[in-house]
Chain A
Amino acid sequence: MATENLEMDYSKYDFKDSTEMYVHLSKKGLTKETVIGISKMKDEPQWMLDFRLRSYETFMKKPMPTWGGDLSKIDFQNIYYYAKASEKTEKNWDDVPADVKNTFDKLGIPEAEKKFLAGVGAQYESEVVYHNLREDLQKQGVMFLDTDSALKEQPEIFRKYFGKVIPPEDNKFAALNSAVWSGGSFIYVPPGVKVDMPLQAYFRINAENIGQFERTLIIVDEGAEVHYIEGCTAPVYSSESLHSAVVELVAHKDARLRYTTIQNWSNDVYNLVTKRAYAYEGATVEWIDGNIGSRLTMKYPGVYLMGERAYGETLSIAFAGKGQHQDTGAKMVHLAPNTKSKITSKSVSRHDGRSTYRGLLNVAKGATNVKSTVRCDALLLDDTSKTDTYPYMEINQEDATITHEATVGKIGDDQIFYLMSRGFTEEEALSLIVNGFMEPFTKELPMEYAVELNRLIKLEMDDSVG
């Protein structure tokens, strides 16, 4: 890999726009009125309001989790739960309000769309501001909408799946999202349709102390295929923002679904996300999950293997730098015979960053002939960095074959020495080794993203020597 074009200016992400032009900014804090207000503004049907209120009650009742990262600094009353910068979702890039457009232009969204995407959505604060889908896919019946429009335009299919994979009662943050959700992507791929290019969404937090609660629902019908990519960024502020998404995926019989996330929130964002997929008979669900940014990420993408021969895979990387805690992992629940799963987790920590792998592997009674492998590798770049591994395994069926392996290591001085003897600087050598360590992950990404990720890693690695 050539290194010369990897120079990047971090300020690409670190710019902020004024909130003065916003169409709507909710009051700070969470009350029943906030929830009702959001629902009213969106002109939602009664059942959704009821769902939101039920979720609100659940959220208030549930205690904060005592495990995982430090959540004590989150002040739920100091957060804007809803902000709207634009009046409606645009289909033409030129119609997007200037300052919002500016943001995404800086991030390079329209170029990316032209180049290699079949469809793109962009969310700015709470609302999706731009959405587009290739015409031929539309003709085949593929739906790619923002979640709010889906509720209006596809009420039947929406109601059938919404909140079924992750009910609000699942955990405190899923309840919070269910109460105040706004935006996100909705995708439906009809039976047999194979979407050959990835669909993409981009999420952006702009204002300080804002909470982004997008809700994504993807349904892939029998024998269909889709690849969805999302990217997330936010500028740097000194006080905390909260991103708490819920992502529900349903892969029907023999469907294939790949979900790729590269999360590069700024280092003051709490990223507390619930992601889960149902994989029915013969279906394949893959989570490709990159965690570079945020102060604290707690994210454990899961696959419930509901039908025979279903396959679930999670491939994740985490990069924990100064002041960061990446508490990530995966959850595989085998509910049917002959199901397989694979978890690969790689983490790099440095500058007192902490990376944690926390995973659950559950084999239900009656799920015979299950195979599962879990592999976690951690790389510690200096003596203040930390890593933890908590693999939970619950095996209720005797004939399961389960293996778990983990290694923790540091970069060998001899490896650095070798590369330096070949003319690399120490920093380049380090960067190369880390890139090599991440290779199994990066090679699963579309090319643009792989380059981007390598840049990010390079960026994170700067000044790591000495």
Chain B
Amino acid sequence: MSTLQKLSELDESHIEEISAQGRDPQWLQEYRRSSFETYGRLPLETSPLYNKYTDARRLDPAQVLLPPGMSASDAEPEFLGRRIAELKDETSIIQVGTRIVRTNIPDDAAAKGVVISSIYDALNDSSNEPAVRAALESSDSEGDKFTALNNAAFNSGVFIHVPDGVQIDKPIYALVCLPQDGSSVISRNVIAMGDSAKATIAQEMYSPKPGDGSASSPAAALQPSYMEMLNTTVGANSRLDVTTLQMFDQSAVNFSTRLTDISQDAQVNWYSGLFGAQLSRYRIDYFLRGSGASTNDSEVVFGNADQSFDIQTEVNHEAPSTEGRVVEKSILRDKSKSLFKGMIRIKENAAKSNSFLSGRSILLDPDAKSDAIPGLEILTNDVKATHSASVAQIDEEQIFYLQSRCLSKEEAERTIVEGFLEPLSRRMSYQVRAWIAYLIESKWEGRELGINTDEELAKFVEVEETRYNEDAEIEQHYKYR
């Protein structure tokens, strides 16, 4: 295997190497080059609003190793064998390191023109290239250092395209796993939805444990990173549901930037469950570009040990009658830390828009820490915008009450946490609720994080399904009363 390149010593030749191996078109070569120049110039945080508030400096570029070009081990990791087998018959794409190791598209979906491929296949396909190019060019390198890095040095990625009028009921699974050798992955993912289309996507993120089995296991000090840039465009009248489950090992670092463009009357529901990685830095930007566009973003963070989560969510209302809803909830144990920076931005022409932003944290240990900055920038009057934030420790009286009802302290804490998440999870489908509940339980009990369709999960699905149906029944009941 050839030598790995440290991120701290990244130079032009590395970028050229990626370009050469990916057989980049001319425009992309130039785009990478100019972005790389920008990357070198920008500070860690460009916004004057937040420059004091960023955890990005926990990333040590000297500990991030990049494979030369795109090569990386492409063996399916053992610990994911079971999950991968489960996904065999589902609509899915599996990326290990920088390689796509499997793709499965059911025939009927393929016949309707659904494309699920690696970003490189899309770039080399004349019908898909424009979508990828548009995505790249809409991501301004000047806006953020890590957008610039991604624009310059992405070495992998997934492309999903759902054409006009196509509705897919079953979820599309996009699984990514960092390679065994401890190297990092810079991915550019693109989701392009046509008009009046419908799809559900589940993103799962894994990484191997350091010192796990194989001889080439990553050294403990390394920071294997998953640097993702995800561009989503949603056409008019479409609906997209995405679930992101981040289950990296705590040696890993995860930087994700999502830019989501939503057209007229389209709706996006995004559920994120962030559980793993020593540092997760998420920048989530929604652009509501057409009237009637709406987004509903729910984020659950569960941190322990010395994990830190740095989340910045912005909803940009660019058209009239748009709706945004962002709810972030974090549960923090031990010395974990969360930083929530939210922003509602309503432009001059976005009258009759309605937006809600909230960040809530519950701290379970004295050393846990949470900061919140829920901001508003409102440029016109006929709108509704509210935001709220709260940070509180778990209520001793509630624990005492539950203990008096014969729950142990831990059970009491878990019940309270469940209640804390309840209003949020009501918005989710029972499947997503089950996954998130399952991961919280796994983490609480110190089990390995991962989705496996085992008895445990089945139990959660059953509970959540019953609850879900109950809700529906209650609603119906109310309706006909």
- Say whether A385 contacts B375, CB under 8 Å: no
Complex alpha-carbon distance, A401 and B388, angstroms: 13
Residues of A within 8 A of B379 (CB): 386
Q: Which B residue's beta carbon lies closest to that of A379?
A: B381
Contact with A along B348-367 (1 / 0, CB 8 A): 10010000000000010111
- Chain B positions 323-379 with a Cβ under 8 Å from a chain A Cβ: 348, 351, 363, 365-379
Q: Which A residue's beta carbon lies closest to that of B381?
A: A380
Residues of A within 8 A of B390 (CB): 402-404
Does any Cβ of A come within 8 Å of B414's Cβ? no
Does any Cβ of A come within 8 Å of B33's Cβ? no
Does any Cβ of B come within 8 Å of A405's Cβ? yes
B369 interface neighbour in A382, A396, A404, A408, Cβ under 8 Å: A396
Does any Cβ of B come within 8 Å of A392's Cβ? yes
Q: Which B residue's beta carbon lies closest to that of A388?
A: B377
A380 interface neighbour in B370, B378, B386, Cβ under 8 Å: B378
Residues of A within 8 A of B382 (CB): 383, 410
- Chain A positions 398-455 with a Cβ under 8 Å from a chain B Cβ: 398-410
Q: Specify which of A380, A381, A382, A394 lies most central, judged by the most chain B CB atoms within 10 Å of its CB.
A: A394
- Say whether A395 contacts B388, CB under 8 Å: no
- Say whether B386 contacts A407, CB under 8 Å: yes
Does any Cβ of A come within 8 Å of B102's Cβ? no
Does any Cβ of B come within 8 Å of A10's Cβ? no
Main secondary structure of the interface of B (DSSP, over half): strand
Residues of B within 8 A of A402 (CB): 389-392
Residues of B within 8 A of A383 (CB): 348, 351, 380-382
Interface residue count on the A side (C-beta < 8 Å): 34
Does any Cβ of A come within 8 Å of B385's Cβ? yes
B366 interface neighbour in A66, A389, A390, A398, Cβ under 8 Å: A398
Does any Cβ of A come within 8 Å of B31's Cβ? no
Does any Cβ of A come within 8 Å of B457's Cβ? no
Does any Cβ of B come within 8 Å of A393's Cβ? yes
- Say whether A385 contacts B371, CB under 8 Å: no
- Say whether B371 contacts A380, CB under 8 Å: no
Does any Cβ of B come within 8 Å of A391's Cβ? yes
B376 interface neighbour in A381, A393, A401, A408, Cβ under 8 Å: A408
- Say whether B380 contacts A390, CB under 8 Å: no
**How far is the CB of A326 from the nearest CB of chain B, in Å?**
14
- Chain A positions 40-98 with a Cβ under 8 Å from a chain B Cβ: 66-67
- Say whether B370 contacts A395, CB under 8 Å: yes
Does any Cβ of A come within 8 Å of B48's Cβ? yes
- Say whether A406 contacts B373, CB under 8 Å: no
Residues of A within 8 A of B389 (CB): 391, 393, 402-404
- Say whether A404 contacts B374, CB under 8 Å: yes
Q: Which A residue's beta carbon lies closest to that of B380?
A: A383
Q: Which B residue's beta carbon lies closest to that of A357?
A: B376
Complex alpha-carbon distance, A461 and B388, angstroms: 30
Complex alpha-carbon distance, A384 and B380, angstroms: 6
Q: Specify which of A384, A400, A403, A404 lies most central, judged by the most chain B CB atoms within 10 Å of its CB.
A: A404
Does any Cβ of B come within 8 Å of A378's Cβ? yes
**How far is the CB of A340 from the nearest CB of chain B, in Å?**
15
Residues of A within 8 A of B398 (CB): none
- Say whether B380 contacts A389, CB under 8 Å: no
Q: Which A residue's beta carbon lies closest to that of B365?
A: A398
Does any Cβ of A come within 8 Å of B383's Cβ? yes
Residues of B within 8 A of A400 (CB): 391-393
Residues of A within 8 A of B363 (CB): 398
Q: Which A residue's beta carbon lies closest to that of B47?
A: A67
**How far is the CB of B311 from the nearest CB of chain A, in Å?**
14
Residues of B within 8 A of A378 (CB): 376, 378
- Say whether B381 contacts A406, CB under 8 Å: no
Residues of B within 8 A of A408 (CB): 376, 378, 383-386
Does any Cβ of B come within 8 Å of A200's Cβ? no
Complex alpha-carbon distance, A407 and B357, angstroms: 11
Q: Which A residue's beta carbon lies closest to that of B53?
A: A392
Complex alpha-carbon distance, A400 and B389, angstroms: 13
- Say whether B48 contacts A385, CB under 8 Å: no
- Say whether A388 contacts B388, CB under 8 Å: no
Residues of B within 8 A of A398 (CB): 363, 365-368, 393
- Say whether A382 contacts B381, CB under 8 Å: yes
- Say whether B376 contacts A406, CB under 8 Å: yes
- Chain A positions 304-337 with a Cβ under 8 Å from a chain B Cβ: none
- Decide: A385 near B381, CB < 8 A? Known: A66-B48, A67-B48, A404-B389: yes
Does any Cβ of A come within 8 Å of B111's Cβ? no
**How far is the CB of A198 from the nearest CB of chain B, in Å?**
35
Complex alpha-carbon distance, A387 and B376, angstroms: 8
Does any Cβ of A come within 8 Å of B221's Cβ? no
Q: Which B residue's beta carbon lies closest to that of A395?
A: B391
- Say whether A380 contacts B377, CB under 8 Å: no
Residues of B within 8 A of A396 (CB): 369
What are 30 of the A-B contact pairs (CB < 8 Å)? Answer: A67-B49, A378-B376, A383-B380, A383-B381, A383-B382, A384-B348, A385-B381, A387-B377, A388-B376, A389-B375, A390-B375, A391-B374, A391-B389, A392-B53, A395-B391, A398-B363, A398-B365, A398-B393, A400-B391, A401-B392, A402-B389, A402-B391, A402-B392, A403-B388, A403-B390, A404-B389, A406-B386, A407-B386, A408-B386, A410-B383
Instruction: Please give me the 9 A-B residue pairs with the lowest Cβ-Cβ distance, nearest first.
Output: A380-B381, A389-B376, A410-B381, A67-B48, A398-B363, A398-B393, A404-B389, A408-B385, A388-B377
Given A389-B375, A392-B371, 9 more pairs with CB closer than 8 A = A380-B381, A381-B381, A385-B380, A386-B377, A387-B378, A389-B377, A402-B390, A405-B388, A408-B383
